[in-house]
Amino acid sequence: MDSLKDVMNFAAIIIALSFLIFSFDDVLLDLYYYVFSRKRLSNKLRIKDLDQAPPKPIAIFVPAWHEEEVIAKMLENNFASINYPRSFYHIFVGVYPNDFATKAAVKPLLAKYKNLHIVENVQDGPTNKSDNLNNLYRKLIQYEHKTGVYFSIVIIHDSEDIIHPTSLKLFNYLIPKHAAVQLPVFPLQPLPTIRNFFKYMTSGTYADEFAENHTKGLVTREMAGGFVPSAGTGFAVSRRILDKLAEDSDAGEIFNQQSLTEDYELSLRMQKIGERIHFFVGSVQRILNSGKVRDEFIATREFFPNNFYPAIKQKARWIYGITFQSAKILETQDLTWMQKYCIVRDWKAKYANLLVLPGYMLLIYIIVSVITGLPNPYQYSATFRWLTFLVTALTIEKQLVRGIALHKIYGWRSAIVGCFAPPLLPLRLVWGNIINFCATVRAWRIWLFGSPKNRAKWDKTDHHYLPTEVLELYRRKLGDLLLEKELVDAAELGSLLMGMEKDKKLGEHLVESNIATHDELLPVLGELLRTGFIDIDKNLVDASLASVFPESVARKHSILPLLNWTDGILVAAAKPLSNEELESLSKETGLHIKVTLAQTINIQESLDMMYRHGGKQLGRKRRIGEILLEKGLVDEEHLLEAFKVQKTTGKRLGQVLVEMNVLSKEQLATVLAESVNISA
């Protein structure tokens, strides 16, 4: 019996000591976060500042393999919700020749969205995500050579992502101040109840881990000067960096096609060349129909597996790619000790996760020994008792920290369910540890026995998407934009909504209540309705366009013709025009009417100036914007944004468009050379 007692005491001490060693640095990083995070929060970005940065062309990569169940819904939702000029972002969906279902799901949307493109891989699938992304990058360069557009930023998203409406504006503002920006990724979770506690146990473990890591873990690493990896989605990188990485690669590839965690490997390559990823954690205010104001994180939201085996497969892929395939990067001398430490923290998971089995076996043994009288290490070993006390304290600390993170993202109910039900040994925490243990065993098996070909295979998980009525909750409304731009007080807006009649429009109520004027609301309405807004000056008034509309019509609808091309005309209006008004104007002019919003007084003054001359300008010079529209080199949105820049800089319109990367120097030179009677 004494020999059994000695063996159990020794084993118990080793297990407890291992837990202590693997967990102690977590506490140090937690302390670092809570000491220094106040300084980070004091420099919080104001969302209204994002509007000060002229939009740059952005490419969104969506690699897909058998995503026919979600891809069309994902695209439709994100086109409807992204708050960024549509002409300035393009979505490129990477598909395979033999994936007929995914191609069939995307093709009907091509006619509806000019900024959507299908990019077919050169080989049948599945290859892997790295190969798909490399193919997207190559085809992006071909598209640029063909169109003259140059994409300054590339964003990577998954086919089931709900892209935050403000994220593109944020990326446009932060890059190139930062080489790359990673947004938090938060799993979609229903509000927990007693009935669905076990139903969503597996996906809930993802919520626990991402909430903690993406509100505290990665933030702390960046504050401490450590290595911050990409999460593989919700990740934006400067085009300059991608081109540099492609040049440095022997095969001209950005993503390592032998890696199952191409995002992590890309981050390591960026770190080696001195380019760091900025992890942005911030929120915007949202106003609910009830009048309550809440903070919403600017984050990517998506579904994660809710079944045991798919979760093991996915996490095994992550563990294998990060801790086995990427471990060799530690051999480089280009990293600081803090950066290497962060990589070691990631790498240790392939050992730390295995402690779960002996740890839980020891716990079960202690419980059984109390009942049966077997040798109990807790009773006979003072060393083990102290180690147990320390491990328990660290465990409680981790639960509290995770609970705080869950509360920030999902609310108190989720925090209690995830970390304190039941106390000390929460079921969801235990279940998450078991999943991680099984995934780590699978990763070890792949490393030891998997073939090189199978190791790089795209071992994807199945996805599903939210119904339309739920997706509406993620889309911006007028009140949300007013709060973002700090044009109204949150408390005042909330009070107004609670007392507003159901059939009343918020804009009308704001004007009637003298909280905002009609002209103050117009720029926000232009953004919400995607018509845009223009601040008219005399340089934009072309008296020869007075012949397009009779003066009575122009004054009745309060519209000002701005640009006229072969079959279309861009007009500024003092209010959004109804479909009936647009149809009537189109019949009268024989032109397709495009509308942007402008202040009433600007339109009236411009109409006075226009009709004073009676539209009798002879030998009128055509404007370069009209010719570019006619040739299909730019569209109205490009010009409206360029007009804003032109007004503040005084540069010629063509030069502004070239600097915005929507027109090449060669295209501009050709247009100017071909058109002798032109106003630039």
Q: Which residue's structure tokens are 């493109």?
A: 117
User: What pLDDT does residue 248 have?
Assistant: 85
- Could you tell me the residue ranges of all domains in the chain? 518-620, 638-680
Reading the block at residue 606, the tokens are 């411009």
Tell me what pLDDT residue 353 has.
Answer: 95
Cα dihedral 151, 152, 154, 155 sign:
negative
- Strands of 559-565's sheet in order across: 559-565, 568-573, 592-597
Nearest to 133 by CA among 274, 270, 259, 268: 259
Question: 618 pLDDT exceeds 50?
Answer: no
Q: Which CATH architecture has domain 518-620?
A: 2-Layer Sandwich (3.30)
Residue 659 CB-density burial (10 A; 0-12 exposed, 13-18 middle, 19+ buried): middle
Collapsed DSSP state (helix, strand, coil) of residue 99: coil
CB 394 within 8 A of CB 386: no
- pLDDT score, position 461: 66
Overall average pLDDT of the 32-54 stretch: 78
Farthest-apart Cα atoms in the chain, separation: 112
Give the other-Cβ count within 10 Å of 251's Cβ.
9
Which stretches of 146-234 are assigned E, i.e. beta strand? 153-156, 180-182, 185-187
Q: What is the mean pLDDT of the chain?
A: 89
Range with the lowest mean pLDDT among 160-164, 202-206, 460-464, 608-612? Answer: 460-464
Predicted confidence band of residue 620 (pLDDT cuts 50, 70, 90): low
Half-sphere exposure of 395 (CA within 13 A, CB side): 18
Q: Residue 3 has what pLDDT?
A: 73
List Cα–Cα distances, 123 to 21, 65, 94, 102, 469, in angstroms. Answer: 47, 13, 12, 15, 38
Residues in contact with 265: Cβ distance below 8 Å, sequence separation at least 6, in sequence order: 255, 256, 259, 321, 325, 326
Cα(313)–Cα(446) distance, integer angstroms: 11
Tell me the per-residue pLDDT of 149-198, one tens digit each, with 9 for 90 and over.
Answer: 999 999 999 999 999 999 999 999 999 899 999 999 999 999 898 889 99
Hey, is 621 helix, strand or coil? coil
pTM: 0.94
Backbone angles phi, psi at 630, to 5 degrees: -60, -35
Instruction: Look at residue 336 in the predicted model and tell me its pLDDT.
Output: 86
DSSP state of 45: P
Contact 591, 568 (CB under 8 A): yes
* Contact predicate 564/545, CB 8 Å: yes
Residue 455 confidence class, pLDDT cut points 50, 70, 90 = low
Q: Provide the pLDDT for residue 619.
A: 46
Greatest mean pLDDT among 21-35, 74-88, 539-553 = 74-88
Q: Is 136 exposed, middle or buried (0-12, 13-18, 19+ CB in 10 A)?
A: buried
Eight-state DSSP code of residue 294:
E
β-pairing verdict for 116-120 and 89-95: parallel
- What pLDDT is recorded for position 77? 95
Please name the residue that has the structure tokens 């076996």. Answer: 361
What's the rounded Cα separation, in Å, for the pair 387 and 463? Answer: 43
648 CB-near residues (< 8 Å, 6+ apart): none
Whether 63 contacts 134, CB under 8 Å: no
Picking from 146, 158, 151, 156, the residue whose alpha carbon sits closest to that of residue 255 is 156
Q: Which residues are 603's β-sheet partners?
A: none
What are the CA-CA distances from residue 616 to residues 542, 570, 611 (Å)? 11, 20, 9
218-266 tens-digit pLDDT: 999 999 999 999 999 999 999 999 999 999 887 778 998 888 899 999 9
Q: Which residues lie below 8 Å from residue 73, measured CB to CB, with a gap of 6+?
A: 465
Q: Which secondary structure element, helix H or strand E, spans residue 378, and what is its range? A: helix 377-380
151 and 59 in contact (C-beta within 8 Å)? yes
Q: For residues 376 and 561, which has the higher predicted lDDT (pLDDT)? A: 561
- Kindly tell me if the per-residue pLDDT of 36 is higher than 70: yes
Helices (H), 590-676: 600-612, 624-630, 636-649, 653-659, 665-674
pLDDT in tens, 360-413: 998 888 888 888 877 787 777 788 889 989 988 998 999 999 999 999 999 999
Residue 664 has pLDDT above 70, yes or no: yes
Catalogue the long-range contacts made by 25-33 (C-beta closer than 8 Å, 24 or more residues apart): 25/345, 26/394, 26/398, 27/394, 27/397, 29/217, 29/220, 29/221, 29/224, 30/216, 30/220, 30/397, 30/401, 32/220, 32/223, 32/224, 33/216, 33/219, 33/220, 33/223
Indicate the pLDDT class of residue 453, thresholds 50, 70 and 90: low
In angstroms, the CA 551 to CA 611 distance is 7
d(CA 170, CA 592): 33
Q: Looking at the predicted structure, is the pLDDT value of residue 623 above 90?
A: no
